[in-house]
Amino acid sequence: SSAWKLDDHPKLPKGKTIALIVLDGWGESAPDEYNCIHNAPTPAMDALKHGAPDTWTLIKAHGTAVGLPSEDDMGNSEVGHNALGAGRIFAQGAKLCDLALASGKIFEGEGFKYVSESFDTHTLHLVGLLSDGGVHSRIDQLQLLIKGSAERGAKRIRVHILTDGRDVLDGSSVGFVETLEADLVKLRENGVDAQIASGGGRMYVTLDRYENDWEVVKRGWDAQVLGEAPHKFKNAVEAVKTLRKEPGANDQYLPPFVIVDDSGKAVGPIVDGDAVVTFNFRADRMVMHAKALEYEDFDKFDRVRFPKIRYAGMLQYDGELKLPNRYLVSPPEIDRTSGEYLTHNGVSTFACSETVKFGHVTFFWNGNRSGYFNEKLEEYVEIPSDSGISFNAQPKMKALEIGEKARDAILSGKFDQVRVNIPNSDMVGHTGDIEATVVACEAADLAVKMIFDAIEQVKGIYVVTADHGNAEDMVKRDKSGKPALDKEGNLQILTSHTLKPVPIAIGGPGLSKGVRFRKDLETPGLANVAATVMNLHGFVAPDDYEPTLIEVVE
């Protein structure tokens, strides 16, 4: 329809093949021993810097530039890919939940009313990631949710925690559990029966994504719903401290546990009539769990029991699937994304990544929407990720395969846009294994090279950027930028993302003469990329998109 029609760009032609490469977790930082990108051989990416400032520059990928509450919020893949795909900055889940909690509106909404109907006679369960990482959830939001629920009649509260160590330092789980436990003690003193009921590490229990490994969700189900786990403790702080010492365990991979009473009975299995709120605001790692909690028909694992519960998500995690049906805060309405516009204007697209990032270049890119806009014009290819391993064991991951798929798509001549996410620097960076992360960055660069070569052959254009930082800085730093030591004098390896800017570069034989990055934008960020790409496809972006990064000089 005419509302979707984009104006022709006055100077740039249509019909060029564009490779759009997102390096996940690839920021720009000063070179030192903790900068794995600098320390890896990355000739393809390094060569691009010679084009600075005309064809290589840095853009913001964190904080308010991607819709997060503050400039202290590091970027992440959800908000990063949302901004890249949507070309505008939307207040994101973290921010929307902050507002709803601050105003108290969260407790007046339909979602909360629905779950609160269980408060008189049944238990309220809260399930989610326990940290202040701000990527998937925040402990202060959980605390407000617990407080507000108790004030509104919740008499029996059970918290099912997932320890982090990925968006925050490994080992910080103990402190977060202590904080939560202190709150629950206070509640108990005030007559509310509130306890931690189960737990486990986020990468091993519950928070899988994109159907990489249902066993992860099953472990959570067993602990949270069935009250069964290989480890039983009377106290959650003790559980976390003890289980961290298990071989191979850390916050991310903590084995599942349940809390039991003096008679050895689990204190908080989820049963008929209970209310369940999942307090993560970010979608990708909640979708599988939400399906298990909500779908009557379900064959991914044997649930043994399927309790009739009142379930609400902090947000609705998938707008297309309406999953879950009930939620406390409305998600950002990311509409009119660049992908939708481009399909309406006849641009054909190929998108590809491996499982662990597949939804990033599809679901997140398209404004948290599953599926195609136009099946005839789009093809999305998922390369199965290795599962059941920590990615430092296979740091090359599927970079080569992604490169090959992109190359073939480019050479096929069938697609105007070939979009990939290359996950290595992020996924391996999150393990905190510096040596493996160097290997990961090298592998990512080889995939980039493969795609550049294909673009060269078809006389196309490449745009290469990243969604946020990670591998460029692997150590916690003090205010002066020096590595910050802990109490024992040890370095603190950073498994999380960073606040760093990310590079963006354009090039290729198809790039029209005179195209260069503008110098007049004050703080360009990821949201400026969509208009840029639309220009390179020969179109002018819609008026309300963040401005393009490029200009054409005669």
173 binds ligand 3PG (CB under 6 A): no
82 within 8 A of 96, measured Cβ to Cβ: no
77 binds ligand 3PG (CB under 6 A): yes
454 within 8 A of 420, measured Cβ to Cβ: no
> If binding means CB under 6 A, how many residues of this protein chain bind ligand 3PG?
12
Could you give the CA distance from residue 350 to residue 255 in angstroms, rounded to a whole number? 39
Closest distance to ligand 3PG from the beta carbon of 539 (Å): 29
Q: b or e along 104-132 (b: 16 or more beta carbons within 10 Å of the residue's beta carbon)?
A: eebbebebbebbbebbeebbbbbbbbbbb
Give strand ranges (E) for 202-359. 231-233, 257-259, 275-278, 310-315, 327-329, 349-354
Q: What are phi and psi of 182, to 5 degrees?
A: -60, -40
268 interface partner picked from ligand 3PG, Co ion, none, CB below 5 to 8 A per type: none
Among 28, 73, 98, 167, binds ligand 3PG (CB under 6 A): 167
Among 98, 426, 442, 473, binds Co ion (CB under 5 A): 426
195 interface partner picked from ligand 3PG, Co ion, none, CB below 5 to 8 A per type: none
Q: Which is nearer to ligand 3PG, 251 or 426 (CB)?
A: 426
422 binds ligand 3PG (CB under 6 A): no
**Segment near ligand 3PG (CB under 6 A), from 38-46, 76-84, 519-527, 530-538?**
76-84
Q: Which residue is nearest to ligand 3PG (CB)?
A: 77
**Segment near ligand 3PG (CB under 6 A), from 37-45, 74-82, 93-101, 338-346?**
74-82
82 binds ligand 3PG (CB under 6 A): no
Kindly state the helix (H) or strand (E) to which residue 272 belongs, with its residue range: none
* Closest listed residue to residue 278, CA positions, set 229, 332, 228, 327: 327
Both tokens assigned to 154: 């919740």
User: Known catalytic residue: 77?
Assistant: yes
Among 158, 160, 166, 369, binds ligand 3PG (CB under 6 A): 166
The secondary structure of 196-235 as a DSSP string is EEEEEETTTSS---TTS-HHHHHHHHIIIII---SEEES-
135 binds ligand 3PG (CB under 6 A): yes
**Segment near ligand 3PG (CB under 6 A), from 72-80, 244-252, 330-338, 507-515?**
72-80
66 binds ligand 3PG (CB under 6 A): no
DSSP 64: G
* Closest listed residue to residue 132, CA positions, set 166, 100, 83, 99: 166
List 29, 77, 198, 496, catalytic entry: 77
Q: What are phi and psi of 339, to 5 degrees?
A: -65, -40
Of residues 272 through 301, those in contact with ligand 3PG by CB under 6 A are: 285
Residues identified as active-site:
77
Positions that interact with ligand 3PG (CB under 6 A): 24-25, 76-78, 135-136, 166-167, 285, 426, 430
